[in-house]
Amino acid sequence: MKDKGFEGGNVVPITVGRVTSSWVEMPSEANQRTKRGYTCMDVGQADASWSTYLKAADQEKRQAVSANLKAVLERHKNRS
pTM over 0.95? The answer is: no
CA-to-CA separations, 51 to 35, 45, 54, 69, in angstroms, rounded: 18, 10, 5, 27
Contacts 24+ apart (CB under 8 A), 67-74: none
User: Are 12 and 5 within 8 A, CB to CB?
Assistant: yes
pLDDT tens readout for residues 16-57: 777 666 666 677 777 777 777 776 665 555 566 677 788 888
Q: What are the domain boundaries of the chain?
A: 44-80
